[in-house]
Amino acid sequence: MQAVGAAWLMTSLSSSPLQIALIQTASALPFFLLALPAGSIGDIVDRRKLILGTETWMLVVSAILVVMTYLRLINPWFLLLLTFALSVGDAIESPAWRAIFPELVPRSELPPALALNGIEFNLARAVGPALGGVIIALAGVSTAFLVNAISFLGVIVVIARWKRPVTKSKLPTETFSGATAAAIRYVRYSPGIRRLLVRAAFVIFFSSAFWALLPAVAKNVSHTSLGYGLLLGFFGTGAVLGAVALQRLSKRYPVEVVIAAATGVFAGVLAATALVAQLWILCIFSFFGGMAWTIFMSIFNTLIQRLAPDWVRARVLAVYLFVFQGSMTLGSVLWGATAERTSLEVALLASGIGIAACLLLRLPFPLPEPSATLDVWNHWPKPTMFEEPEPDAGPVLVTVEYKVDRDKEREFLEAIHKYERVRRRDGATRWGVYYDSESPGVYLETFLVDSWAEHQRQHNRFTVADEEIEKQVFRCAPASPKVRHYIYARKPTRDEEK
């Protein structure tokens, strides 16, 4: 209802396709700017308290929007500012909100739980826009904004009553900068996540034209807010059925086939939106667009959830939101500017051709297979030390000495270089492997970690899925490796010398 109200109000305040498209930009830009820090916050602080704070913020902003609209003090730029402020709360909340799903259901039930969440979300998307259009037509846009503001109270009550178990770690809390760096490092050294992000970025960039230009299209074919509400209502209805159909399709066909079909359908919907001028025909295409949209978005959302372990889940989801909303923001501005300089038809047809070309991305960027074994596998013994280092002591140099069978040295080097990705992903800033020029078959793996506390966290980041790489290494070096830890020796200060 909020989306319908803001978009339709902008069509009343301005006839510029660019300003209309900027409503979508104002909604997406905070995710682009704040997703990474929001993900770090979501993994560091209590997620329940974070959600309560952001919901309260959005309640206040929504109330201001209600008052300004009711008093007729609103203008295009103030509407964009309040839309941006409302989305700021959503951007900060979203990584933590999405990361709580694995806390609520067993991992084996995560895909259907996410699909169910998609169904209820799209059911709201089906009912909300149509109901919003009716309310705007009968009672004005300020009333639709008022209903949205009241809805935050319901969410606040539910979250306040949630008894979330808090796991206390013996390690110091990660710093904000350290947590953000860990997220970027984890994504950088996770090839499957990178491929997924590339696929999502291109698909969202081209599909953003639908969201950015649909209000202008609705204004052309229907001069009431009800027409725009109907288009979104049919889209949401199709999205609900698409989520239901996805459960059957994913069991019968490979995920690449399902994604390709959904992408092709959405390309056709964009083309039809450009060429069709009858509202009832557009509603039919919007229905199929909803089915296609929820299919590829549900697949992307499920994959990213299943590719990230617990300790970094909110941050990986934040990177995903950063890419998602960044593509949406850039696309909305580009397609709005294209429509203003050319026409709505040209912008929509160009975006349709672009999303159809995304079908070729499966060749260089195939979707990853999620691992079912992301549980922590901390099997390393605690080192014997003459004194326990301070948590912030470091950097820490870790050396692992292997005695490799001479006939398996080539196989060992191939395996140990796979280990580099795991070490760097979990916290190592530098990594290397060296052979002993005086002792045949002796190899030394070294890696550097920023602090002693970060190295201890590194032990808790090794997963069961990484076990196979370690087995490959140990098949070539069956003797137990010798592990040593070196803490950087700083020069004593003058006070310490005294």
pLDDT one-digit tens code per residue, 465-490? 788 888 888 999 888 899 999 999 88
Residue 382 lies in a domain: no
Q: Which of 293, 241, 284 is nearest to 123 (CA)?
A: 241
pLDDT one-digit tens code per residue, 100-130? 877 788 777 777 777 777 677 767 766 777 7
Residue 372 lies in a domain: no
Instruction: Please spell the DSSP secondary structure of 445-462, one letter per residue.
Output: EEEEES-HHHHHHHHTT-
Residues 275 and 420 in one domain: no
Q: Which of 34-48, 241-255, 375-389 is predicted least confidently?
A: 375-389
Q: What pLDDT, on the 0 to 100 scale, is given for residue 486?
A: 93
Residues 407 and 266 in one domain: no
Angle at 145 between CA 141 and CA 149, to 5 degrees: 165
> String of b and e for 333-345 (b: at least 16 CB within 10 Å)?
bbbbebbbeeebe
Q: What pLDDT, on the 0 to 100 scale, is given for residue 498?
A: 56
Domain boundary, last residue among 317, 337, 362: 362
Domain boundary, last residue among 362, 383, 404: 362
On whether the pTM is more than 0.85, the answer is: no
Contact 431, 424 (CB under 8 A): yes
Please tell me what DSSP assigns to residue 286: H
Residues 192 and 273 in one domain: yes
Q: DSSP H helical segments within 342-398, as ranges?
A: 344-357
Angstrom distance (rounded) from CA 132 to CA 6: 11
Residues 116 and 26 in one domain: yes
Domain boundary, last residue among 310, 342, 362: 362
Q: Which of 356, 130, 115 is nearest to 241 (CA)?
A: 115
Contact 259, 299 (CB under 8 A): yes
Angle at 341 between CA 338 and CA 343, to 5 degrees: 75
Residues 52 and 194 in one domain: yes
Residue 56: CB atoms within 10 A of its CB come to 14
Q: Name the pLDDT band for 375 (thresholds 50, 70, 90).
A: low
Q: Name the pLDDT band for 172 (thresholds 50, 70, 90).
A: low
What CATH number has the domain bearing residue 482?
3.30.70.100
Give the mean model confidence (pLDDT) for residues 396-401.
94
Residue 445 lies in a domain: yes
Instruction: Please spell the DSSP secondary structure of 3-20, one letter per residue.
Output: HHHHHHHHHHH---HHHH
Tokens (6 digits) for 87: 């989305």
Residues 334 and 428 in one domain: no
Q: What pLDDT, on the 0 to 100 scale, is given for residue 379?
A: 64
Give the mean model confidence (pLDDT) for residues 68-96.
89
Residue 257 lies in a domain: yes
Residues 310 and 440 in one domain: no
- Does the pLDDT of residue 265 top 90, yes or no? yes
pLDDT one-digit tens code per residue, 2-27? 888 888 788 888 877 777 778 877 88
Tokens (6 digits) for 196: 């997924």
Whose tokens are 């593509």? That residue is: 327
Length of the chain: 498
What CATH number has the domain bearing residue 284?
1.20.1250.20
Angstrom distance (rounded) from CA 380 to CA 52: 39
Residues 440 and 331 in one domain: no
Q: What pLDDT, on the 0 to 100 scale, is given for residue 296?
A: 85
Q: What pLDDT, on the 0 to 100 scale, is given for residue 39?
A: 78
The per-residue pLDDT of the chain, averaged, comes to 85
Q: Name the pLDDT band for 494 (thresholds 50, 70, 90).
A: low
State how far the alpha carbon of 446 is from the alpha carbons of 239, 396, 428, in Å. Answer: 51, 10, 10
Q: Structurally, how many domains does the chain consist of?
A: 2
Q: Which domain holds residue 492?
A: 396-497
